[in-house]
A and B are shown apart, each in its own frame.
Chain A
Amino acid sequence: MSDDHQEMRLVFLEEMSELVQDIEGDLLQLEDSPSSRGLVDRLFRNLHTIKGGAGMTGMEQLSHYTHAVENTLDEVRKGRLALSSDLVSLLLEALDCLKGFMAAALGEGILDGHAVEGSRRKIMAAMGEGGTPDPVVPTLLPAREPVRDKPLRSGSALNTFIIQVHAQPDFIPVPSELDARVAALTAIGQLEIVSHDHSLPPEGRRDLEHFYLWRSFHLVTEADETVVRAAMAGWLEQHRVDVVHITMLPEAPPDQAKIDAAVDGSTHDVLGEPARPTPALVSPTASLPDTEATPTALPLAGVAGADKAGIQSIQKLASIRVDLSKLDKLVNLVGELVTTEARLDSFQTSLQTRDTEMAEALLGVLDDNSRTLRELQDQAMTIRMVPIGGAFDPLQRLIRDYCQDTGKRVRLTIVGRETEVDKKIAEQISGPFKHLIRNALDHGIELPDERQAKGKSPEGTIALFAYHQAGLIVIEVRDDGRGVDIERVIQTARQKNIIDGSKELTAREALELIFAPALSTAQTLTEVSGRGVGMDVVKRDIEALRGSVDIATQPGHGTTITVRIPLTLSIVDGLLVGIGESSYIIPLSTVEECVELLPGTIAENSSNFLDIRSELIPFLRLRSLFGIAGQPAPVEKVVIVSTGDRRIGLVVDQLLGDHQAVINPLSRLHRDVQSFSGATILGDGSVVLILDVLRLIEFGRGREERLRAS
């Protein structure tokens, strides 16, 4: 494939990805307002652009497929086909196919040829039902004959062939000859015929040296190329016939495809579309492929690889795509600068006593430097920031499909789409939020009848609110469903032995049980949730991002789940603690309170539990856990940390204050080290480890369980 061609394709794929997004949004809107002429028109235009682009860039199969979808929409546009909910479903399915095409072209997946063909056939069928038959065009044959089916056995490998017949200008077609070919091809597969009569230059302007594309046959068959060629046997000598085997990747030889695109596009003048110039056709040398080089299937791996490499270089044209690791490196370097700056400051301080004048001058420079550095730091952080809205996009579709299946009616509103968050976080919260929405759909929102009986609107609402608060991004998921039945949660938890049968729980504790592994209060298992792997997974995923999840509920009125996540993964607000000569950082977001370890606070009969306001909290002596030599401080301090409902006390010598730490991940040499999530550098240049509170709590829990067992 030529470089030019590949470039074009990459630019097209980028454009297509935007178009596909628009299409998805429009389709979902269309369902609400099926009579919107504007939406249908826009859908049609977008599909048309995709089809054209696909053809121009040699994505033959995509062009062919989109054509079918576009035709259907055209019927809708012309009022010959009603836009039913079923049709929207088909179109959404088509959208998935389009995404599949894109992924395959980007080397990110393999196209499911069966799904595409299935979808295409369904769409064609839908058109057949509601629409009018294909318009009769004033040529020798209808421009597009209805699909002729030879039943295909499912499960066998299907080949798609595009057979193009290039006739000489003086060729006078004999209908019976064409019928014989059509019969031969129909015998071996599913056939679609595209007429290109209109593409012939007017009589008198035809170049006798050249062949003109006259008919294309699109054939889906189990047969291989030899059989297909045999079916065309009578014509192989008389005309130039190209048999192109379309592989699962939408690969076709570029020049070949260009013709097809142009030709395909121009079939519209036959179908009543405005005529478009088709320059490729009047410069035959450029448009006609080499006769010898009959294209066959292209090797998959090589092509995919080449495309991928190309994408990386090409996409820079539209917007600069930067490898995240490069940004990470940039942020790390800025972090290093901040650390060096702190050291410079301490030099400046010590210079004060020796050379006041010099020290003053240096202070000025350092101040300027510091300002620039802050700005640089902010900028470096913002590069990684993306609007959170993108992470919510799949939710709309999820809700729509769910409602389709269950008969519930739900409206999703999103406030604060533009709220920015670190890209990595945006990528990683998509999964947890799918879970949260599924939960709200399944357990929260009632069926329309039930809602009406309660005096609510039959349509439920799930609202997402995203906003910044104190260095965190807060995302609330509010539904106006039935709320959490706390009694049932407790009952289930008892049945499943998640809690002790006799233990009295506060309302908050009971609600927290939602996050316990293996708890599901759904009466019946459904496809989307209720397998008991919802909320505990959500909580774990959010905590992996150093975030937290809270739940509030009002029976009968709905549930609000609040997720708080730090804006960035590379900086942590920490509490600096000292044990002997060593210092450690505890992420501040996990710290609940700090108390002194007095004899009275240690629970009786146990040396491993604190008794804080009559609550037993396990504690770990970091000094012994980390094997630090020397005597503990006369009065040790306990930092009580928690993630959700789990709490543990960490015993240290002293509390040294707050510290904003740039997180350096530990190298692979230390990947087996469990208690730390990273390290940072203090102003004095020393390296300090950051505690992994989640791991420490697990560690404490293990200890707790062993103790209870004994």
Chain B
Amino acid sequence: MDIMGSDMQTARILTVGLGGEVFAIPAGIVREILDVGRVTRVPTAPAFVCNLINVRGRVVPLANLRLRFGMPAVEPTMDTRTVVLEIDLEGEPTTVAVLADKVYEVTQLDEVVSTDVPRIGTRWRPEFVAAIGRRNGQFVMVLDIDEVFAAAGEVHLMEES
């Protein structure tokens, strides 16, 4: 996701809630938003992507971004949604799904605060965040989704050690 500066300002985004914070996913890569359905656990897979779901007859990996960002996992609620994304995984177009505590809206940022995310002061790895912006007076972290999935194996190793 290489959207910078003014592009970031005008780009359409999907805002989602995770652990009380607002994140944004570039709307262009969002395929659909589904209710939470049945999941199939993949034994021995990294915890962050340990489930598979059926999206219209296709087997799609389901990622729990909470685990990726170091937040505790929670049971799904009425508001929990599955967001299906088309991402680029090491050069291969891949359909993945992510869980969101809540899905807000498809919108635009009011203001881009920073595209250079500080290494300190954020709870999560700065490389996952492409930019910080503001929407309705609230901070929004625009996710770099490719980066979030890029190092999936790494998490696995960290958990094991």
Q: Is A530 located at the chain interface by the 8 A CB criterion?
A: no
A-side contacts of B137, CB under 8 Å: none
Please give, as numbers and ranges, the residues of chain B lying within 8 Å of A673 by CB-CB distance: 42-45
Q: Would you call B57 and A669 a contact (CB within 8 A)? A: no
Determine the distance from Cα of A91 to Cα of B61 in the docked complex, in whole angstroms.
55
Residues of B within 8 A of A626 (CB): 43-44
**With contact pairs A668-B94, A679-B52, A685-B38 given, residues A336 and B57 touching in the complex (Cβ less than 8 Å):** yes
Asked if residues A672 and B156 are in contact (CB atoms below 8 Å), the reply is yes
| Residues on the B chain within 8 Å of A679, using CB | 40, 52, 59
Given known A667-B89, A669-B96, A687-B52, contact A336–B42 (CB-CB < 8 A): no
Does any Cβ of A come within 8 Å of B29's Cβ?
no
- Chain B's interface size range is 20 to 34
Q: Is the CB of B89 within 8 A of A669?
A: yes
Chain B's closest residue to A625 (CB) is: B43
CB–CB A582/B40 < 8 A: yes
Partner of A688, one of B40, B53, B57: B40
Which residues of B have CB within 8 Å of A340?
Answer: 56-57
- Interface of A (DSSP majority class): mixed
Assess whether A336 is in contact with B52, with CB atoms less than 8 Å apart: no
Residues B61 and A686 in contact, CB atoms below 8 Å apart: no
Asked if B59 and A335 make an inter-chain contact with CB atoms under 8 angstroms apart, the answer reads no
Complex Cα spacing A339 to B46, Å: 28
For B40, list chain A residues within 8 Å (CB).
582, 679, 686-689
- In the complex, which residues of chain B have a beta carbon less than 8 angstroms from the beta carbon of A173? none
Q: Are A627 and B149 also in contact (CB < 8 A) when A669-B96, A679-B52, A687-B53 are?
A: no
CB proximity to A under 8 Å, residues B114-140: none
Chain B 84-119 per-residue mask, 1 if CB under 8 angstroms from chain A, else 0: 000001101010100000000000000000000000
Residue on B with the closest CB to A674? B44
Cβ A336 vs Cβ B45 within 8 A: no
The one of B37, B53, B61 in contact with A667, judged by C-beta atoms closer than 8 angstroms, is B61
In whole angstroms, what is the CA distance A626 to B43 when docked? 5
Known: A339-B57, A675-B43. A669 touches B149 (CB 8 A): yes
- On whether the beta carbons of A670 and B38 are closer than 8 Å, the reply is no
Contact B49 A670 (CB under 8 A): yes
Q: Assess A669 versus B44: contact at CB under 8 Å? Given A681-B54, A686-B38.
A: no
Say yes or no for A57: interface residue by CB 8 A criterion: no
A337 near B57 with CB under 8 A, answer yes
- Minimum CB–CB distance from A55 to chain B (whole Å) comes to 42
Please report the number of residue pairs spanning A and B whose Cβ atoms sit closer than 8 angstroms.
Answer: 81
Q: Which residues of B contact A582 (CB under 8 A)?
A: 40-41
Residues facing A in B47-76 (CB within 8 A) are 49, 52-54, 56-61, 63
B36 contacts partner chain A, Cβ-Cβ < 8 Å: no
Asked if A212 is an interface residue, CB under 8 A from chain B, the answer is no
Nearest Cβ on chain B to A608's Cβ, whole angstroms: 19
Residues of A within 8 A of B46 (CB): 669, 672
Interface string of B125-161 (1 = CB under 8 A from A): 0000000000000000000000001001100100000
| Contact (A668, B54) CB under 8 Å given A679-B40, A681-B59 | no
User: What is the chain B residue whose CB lies nearest that of A341?
Assistant: B57
Least CB distance, B43 to chain A, in whole angstroms: 4
- A676 CB within 8 Å of chain B: yes
Contact residues in A for B149 (Cβ distance below 8 Å): 669
Instruction: Give CA–CA (A679, B41) in the complex, Å.
Output: 11
Given A337-B57, A339-B57, A340-B57, also A668-B92 (CB < 8 A): yes
By a CB distance below 8 angstroms, the chain A residues around B156 are 672
User: Whose C-beta in chain A lies nearest to the C-beta of B153?
Assistant: A672
| A669 and B59 contact, CB distance less than 8 A | no
Interface string of A645-670 (1 = CB under 8 A from B): 00000000000000000001011111
Q: Across the interface, do B49 and A669 meet the contact criterion of CB distance under 8 Å? A: yes
Given A625-B43, A686-B40, A689-B40; A669-B61 close (CB under 8 Å): yes
Alpha-carbon distance A337/B152, docked complex (angstroms): 31
Q: Judge whether A520 is part of the interface by a CB distance below 8 angstroms.
A: no
Q: How far is the CB of B14 from chain A (nearest CB, A)?
A: 21
B86 → chain A closest CB, angstroms: 12
**Across the two chains, which residue of chain A brings its CB closest to B89?**
A668
Shortest distance between the CB of A308 and any CB in chain B (Å): 19
A590 at interface by CB-CB < 8 Å: no
A680 an interface residue at 8 Å Cβ cutoff? Answer: yes
Q: How far is the CA of A664 from the CA of B38 in the complex (A)?
A: 18
Residues of B within 8 A of A675 (CB): 43-44
Measured in the bound complex, the distance between the Cα atoms of B64 and A57 in whole Å is 58
16 CB < 8 A contacts A-B: A335-B57, A667-B60, A667-B96, A669-B45, A669-B63, A669-B89, A669-B94, A669-B149, A670-B49, A673-B44, A674-B44, A679-B59, A685-B54, A687-B39, A687-B40, A687-B53
- Ranked nearest first, the 8 interchain pairs of A and B with the lowest CB-CB distance are A336-B57, A626-B43, A687-B40, A664-B59, A679-B59, A339-B57, A687-B52, A669-B49
